[in-house]
């Protein structure tokens, strides 16, 4: 095996037939065909005219030498292998044809088809079991449609007489393409056929739905026996066209007529072709999805045959790659550029290989196989695009040049940069700065150099500069230089803000507010918003939000600043902007949606003067806002317009029992300032008990005094039990004797609440205070000129707080006695009645004390009789066998039984204490018994006996307090269940089977 230079456009590997491929019976090789790793060679060897081998990289089988039933004068002329590498058709010089199943290496004669098959159009939907519908072209210009099974049987054979070619013209090559199979009954197909001098391209609509000649039993029984057979051929539509589209060239022999196709690796449904003719070869493209027949095929150029010493050097065969045409000559292989026709590669093999015979291309492995007399050579493309980018660049096809240069960037970085610069220069010369910037952004040239090319003060160049910066920003990743990323972002934002500001200025200028100006502003705004919302700048926007805000403030662009704040959920900035733009309701909507108490505290004072009612309603609905913190803030900015609404919010806040004292104090302040007439009603609603009011008494008094609400001051003094001060204001400052009397009556009612019968429990009002207050009331009445009789009635109203003798010095000097008679008599009678009542009460108390003393003496002498036959109420054993307890109700218990019974009535803590006392007593009695047995009696034993008595007394206090059967303690247990829920469930479960 021989291998060529690895750096060439094609790498060659040579195999000797006998040494490397182990072909034993080798005659004169005539044709070679390779497809999907299956290689078939035909030779002039009667016993084994066909050699088949698998040359794929995964498997390498020993060559199979296939015998074909030929006459002695006949030999194989042509071989055709399907693209899938499963089927092959052999054709002889005399017109006999054979089918090879390459899976089983079995040869089958095709008896229904006669004539040398020079071309086969394989079906794109070919399967492994059979060939499907295929077209065969013969050396007589006949087209044959057939389908061959894997056993070599022809399903049908249909010959087409094609009127557009002469009878004796041979079919060089044919290809079939299925271009549209959406509807099987109307599939679009394309046929490309090559004959010497002409290249046909034919479109047809073909019904490819399944067909069969089967006749059912029902039809047979009905008499439909003579129905004609249904034709199975489908490609007849191709040959009904009288004048199909074709390309023409100078006619020549069959050996100078070839057509080779190669799929375009970049564009689907596009094939490159090379068409060999007598004048040279033509290259072009085949667009399967062309709109019309003339747009399907396109000729690029024709390269004439090379002349050597005046004579044409005729090629033997040719092949095609994506970028080159490979031409086989007797002693060499030449590769010409598909685009320029110049020779870029030439391989002249050594003489002992023999002359070149045939050239075949395997599309699966992208290897070109060349057969000589004694060797088999294969050529594989190796970086064949190394010069193609230059061709595209010179032709101005920058897209393809750039695509190829990008693929080879690791091998030739300068080529990539050159293409970028040339393309950018072209765009700049065309003043397409945006496109130039997109190209330059991919260049490795220094950033400063690129910017200087686009930084000229021109609107179109500004667009190019912005595009360049944008592309550079997109190329940066998270781990790249943060400062560079921040700088690019701020630069881009500055440019967009400037452009947006200029557009707004133009819109507001002469002829402003035009549709065109408005649309431009809206478009620029959308562009900037999309820029700020990009995923790759989100972190930068968050990090530089302060700088972004300042930049937008410099451009006086509050709308953009508001958008950024909304994007970052920066609600504080949003609210500040909205309140600054007098968008108070929108600001309130933001506050409500966010629900942040801190934002409410911060911005509610700014909203209260403008939208007081909606703000207060929002505050009531926001559970996180604390009224005790919010109300003082609002009070500082309230005015006459919002005061009443603020007052309603405070009133709503204090309606909750948990409202703190500070809110009540604020409510008092607001009421005293705005609605002093409502203050007394609120104070009365809080009650008259100073310990029960929810406001600060000192604050309330100071506020009422400050706003000169005297009735409220009097009420507060009374609640605070400052009777003298309250009476002084009522009589001296308000001259309201009735109010003074009500104060005195309130004071007396408090005194009665503190008196139980005749015994004073906790009086906060001294007798001297009552006497002084009632005297001041009487003095005020006398000084006001009231009648003496009404003045003396105060004696009754005061409930003996003052006496007639207290009033006499206050009466005028010339008061007549007749006016004093009735009051004096009534006063004496009342005193007499009270003295009698007091005497009766003292007598009743003395009798009650005597009865209690008698009952006590009887109780001391009462005894309980215990008989020897009495038993314990708990264990029903004899009572006298051990220590027992006898209750006055006649129930008797042993002490230990009583301890057990009383555990149901005492608390857990007392139960533990009882157990501890019983244990101590037990140990102590055991020690005493031990001492008695030893005969030791002394002072220590006496102490232990006293301690035992004390323990027994404590135990009795716990268990002997009440009878466990009939006392109040036992009666209270009537409604207690016998079992808890858990005990009852457990008891029920214990009875289940």
At 241-253, the pLDDT tens digits run: 877 888 876 665 5
Query: Other C-beta atoms within 10 Å of 69: how many?
Result: 10
Q: Which residues pair with 630 in a beta bridge?
A: none
pLDDT at 783 over 50: yes
Structure tokens at 347: 């391989």
Q: Token match 């595209």: residue?
A: 392
pLDDT, tens only, 553-575: 999 889 999 999 999 999 999 99
* Over residues 770-788, mean pLDDT: 80
Distance (Å, rounded) from C-alpha 284 to C-alpha 299? 4
DSSP state of 624: T
pTM of the model: 0.54
Question: Which range among 67-81, 377-391, 459-473, 630-644 shows the weakest confidence by mean pLDDT?
Answer: 459-473
d(CA 206, CA 187): 5
What percent of the chain clears pLDDT 70, i.e. is strictly above it? 88
20-43: string of b/e by CB count within 10 Å (b at 16+)?
ebebeebbebbbbbbbbbbbbbbb
Task: Give dist(CA 665, CA 654) in Å, integer.
Answer: 10
As a whole number of angstroms, the distance between CA 831 and CA 641 comes to 64
pLDDT surpassing 80 at residue 255:
no
Sketch the domain layout of the chain as residue ranges. 627-832, 879-988
Ramachandran region of residue 785, left (φ > 0), alpha (ψ -120 to 50) or beta? left
Residue pair 39/26 in contact (Cβ under 8 Å)? The answer is no
Q: Of the candidates 177, 215, 181, 211, which has an alpha carbon nearest to the alpha carbon of residue 193?
A: 177
Which is it for the CA torsion 645, 651, 653, 659, positive or negative? positive
Distances from the Cα of 233 to the Cα of 141, 189, 206, 212, angstroms: 19, 14, 10, 11
pLDDT exceeds 80 at position 773:
yes
Tell me the sheet residues that pair with 90: 79, 98
Name the more confident of 630 and 817.
Answer: 630
Buried b / exposed e over 511-541, threshold 16 CB at 10 Å, is eeeeeebeebbeebbeebeebbeeeebeebb
pLDDT score recorded for residue 585: 92
H/E segment holding residue 577: helix 571-580
How many Cα atoms occupy the beta-carbon half-sphere of 234 within 13 Å? 24
As a whole number of angstroms, the distance between CA 549 and CA 562 comes to: 9
Question: pLDDT higher for 790 or 10?
Answer: 10
Average pLDDT for the chain = 83
What is the mean pLDDT of the segment spanning 149-176?
88
Token pair listed for 936: 């030791």
**Residue 284: strand, helix, or coil:** strand
CA angle centred on 490, ends 486 and 491, rounded to 5°: 115
E strand or H helix that includes residue 782:
helix 767-783
d(CA 770, CA 776): 10
Give tens-digit pLDDT for 934-964. Answer: 776 665 678 888 888 888 888 888 888 888 8
The pLDDT tens digits for 118-155 are 999 999 888 778 899 999 999 988 999 999 998 889 99
Q: Of 947, 962, 950, 951, whose CA–CA distance to 898 is shortest? A: 962
Which pLDDT score is estimated for 694?
92
Sorting pLDDT into bands at 50, 70 and 90, what band is 795? confident
Least confident of 387-396, 413-422, 816-825: 816-825
**Does residue 58 surpass a pLDDT of 70?**
no
What pLDDT is attached to residue 91? Answer: 94
How do strand 307-308 and strand 311-312 relate by DSSP bridges?
antiparallel
């Amino acid at each position: 095996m021989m291998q060529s230079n690895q750096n060439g456009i094609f790498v060659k590997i040579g195999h000797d037939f006998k040494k490397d491929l182990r072909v034993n019976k080798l005659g004169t090789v005539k044709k070679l065909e390779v497809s999907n790793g299956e290689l078939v060679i035909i030779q002039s060897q009667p016993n084994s005219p066909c050699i088949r081998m698998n040359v794929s990289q995964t498997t390498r089988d020993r060559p199979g030498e296939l015998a074909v039933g030929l006459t002695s004068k006949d030999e194989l002329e042509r071989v055709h292998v399907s693209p899938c590498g499963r089927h092959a058709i052999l054709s002889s010089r005399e017109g006999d044809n054979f089918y090879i199943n390459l899976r089983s290496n079995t040869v089958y004669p095709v008896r229904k088809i006669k004539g040398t098959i020079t071309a086969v159009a394989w079906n794109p939907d070919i399967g492994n079991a059979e060939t499907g519908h295929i077209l065969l072209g013969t050396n007589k210009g006949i087209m044959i449609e057939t389908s061959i099974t894997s056993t070599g049987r022809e399903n049908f054979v249909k010959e087409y007489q094609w009127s557009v070619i002469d009878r004796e013209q041979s079919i060089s090559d044919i290809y079939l393409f299925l271009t549209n199979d959406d509807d099987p009954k109307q599939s679009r197909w394309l046929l490309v056929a090559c004959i010497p001098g002409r290249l046909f391209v034919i479109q047809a609509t073909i019904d490819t739905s399944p067909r069969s000649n089967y006749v059912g039993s029902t039809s047979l029984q009905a008499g439909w026996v003579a129905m004609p057979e249904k034709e199975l051929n489908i490609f007849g539509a191709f040959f009904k066209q009288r004048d199909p589209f074709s390309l023409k060239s100078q006619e020549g022999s069959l050996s100078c007529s070839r057509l080779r196709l190669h799929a375009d690796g970049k564009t689907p449904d596009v094939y490159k072709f090379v068409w060999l003719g007598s004048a040279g070869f033509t290259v072009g493209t085949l667009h399967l999805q062309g709109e019309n027949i003339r747009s399907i095929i396109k000729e690029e150029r024709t390269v004439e045959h090379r002349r050597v010493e005046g004579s044409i050097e005729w090629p033997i065969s040719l092949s095609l790659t994506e970028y080159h045409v490979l031409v086989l000559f007797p002693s060499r292989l030449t590769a010409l550029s598909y685009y320029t026709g110049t020779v870029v590669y030439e391989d002249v093999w050594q003489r002992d290989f023999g002359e070149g015979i045939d050239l075949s291309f395997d599309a699966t492995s992208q290897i070109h196989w060349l057969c000589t007399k004694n060797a088999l050579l294969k050529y594989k493309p190796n970086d064949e695009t190394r010069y193609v980018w230059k061709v595209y660049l010179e032709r101005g096809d920058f897209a393809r040049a750039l695509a190829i240069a990008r693929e080879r960037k690791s091998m030739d970085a300068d080529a990539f940069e050159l293409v970028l610069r040339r393309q950018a220069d072209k765009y700049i010369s065309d003043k397409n700065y945006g496109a130039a910037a997109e190209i330059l952004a991919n260049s490795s040239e220094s950033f400063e150099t690129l910017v200087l090319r686009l930084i000229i003060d021109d609107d179109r160049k500004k667009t190019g500069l912005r595009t360049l910066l944008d592309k550079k920003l997109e190329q940066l990743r998270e781990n790249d230089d943060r400062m560079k990323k921040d700088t690019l972002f701020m630069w881009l934002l500055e440019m967009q803000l400037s452009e947006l500001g200029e557009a707004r200025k133009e819109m507001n200028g002469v002829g402003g507010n035009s549709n065109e100006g408005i649309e431009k502003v809206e478009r620029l705004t959308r562009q900037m918003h999309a820029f700020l919302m990009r995923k790759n700048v989100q972190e930068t926007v968050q990090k530089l939000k302060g700088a972004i805000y300042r930049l937008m403030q410099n451009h006086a662009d509050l709308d953009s600043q508001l958008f950024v704040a909304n994007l970052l959920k920066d609600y504080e900035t949003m609210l500040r902007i909205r309140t600054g733009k007098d968008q108070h309701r929108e600001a309130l909507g933001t506050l409500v949606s966010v629900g942040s108490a801190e934002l409410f505290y911060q911005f509610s004072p700014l909203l209260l003067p403008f939208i007081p009612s909606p703000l207060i309603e929002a505050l009531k609905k926001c559970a996180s806002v604390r009224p005790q913190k919010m109300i003082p803030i609002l009070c500082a900015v309230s005015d006459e317009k919002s005061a009443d609404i603020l007052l309603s919010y405070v009133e709503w806040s204090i309606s909750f029992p948990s409202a703190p004292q500070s809110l009540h104090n604020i409510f008092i302040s607001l009421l005293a300032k705005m609605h002093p007439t409502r203050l007394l009603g609120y104070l009365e609603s809080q009650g008259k008990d100073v310990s029960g009011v929810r406001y600060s008494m000192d604050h309330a008094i100071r506020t009422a005094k400050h706003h000169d609400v005297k009735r409220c001051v009097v009420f507060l003094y009374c609640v605070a039990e400052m009777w003298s001060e309250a009476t002084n204001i009522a009589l001296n400052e308000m001259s309201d004797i009735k109010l003074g009397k009500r104060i005195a009556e309130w004071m007396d009612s408090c005194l009665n609440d503190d008196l139980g019968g005749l015994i004073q429990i906790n009086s906060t009002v001294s007798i001297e205070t009552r006497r002084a207050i009632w005297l001041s009331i009487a003095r005020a009445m006398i000084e006001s000129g009231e009648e003496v009789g009404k003045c003396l009635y105060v004696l009754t109203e005061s409930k003996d707080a003052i006496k007639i003798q207290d009033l006499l010095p206050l009466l005028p000097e010339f008061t007549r006695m007749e006016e004093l008679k009735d009051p004096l008599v009534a006063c004496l009678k009342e005193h007499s009645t009270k003295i009698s009542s007091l005497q009766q009460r003292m007598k009743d108390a003395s009798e009650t004390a005597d009865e209690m003393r008698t009952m006590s003496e009887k109780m001391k002498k009462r005894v309980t009789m215990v008989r020897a036959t009495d038993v314990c109420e708990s264990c029903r054993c004899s009572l006298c066998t051990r220590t027992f307890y006898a209750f006055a109700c006649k129930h008797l218990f042993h002490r230990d039984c009583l301890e057990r019974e009383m555990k149901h009535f005492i608390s857990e803590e007392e139960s533990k204490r009882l157990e501890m006392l019983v244990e101590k007593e037990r140990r102590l009695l055991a020690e005493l018994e031990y001492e008695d047995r030893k005969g030791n009696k002394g002072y220590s034993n006496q102490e232990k006996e006293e301690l035992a008595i004390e323990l027994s007394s404590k135990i009795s206090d716990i268990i002997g307090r009440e009878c466990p059967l009939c006392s109040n303690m036992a009666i209270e247990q009537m409604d207690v269940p016998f079992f808890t829920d858990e005990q009852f469930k457990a008891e029920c479960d214990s009875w289940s089977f």
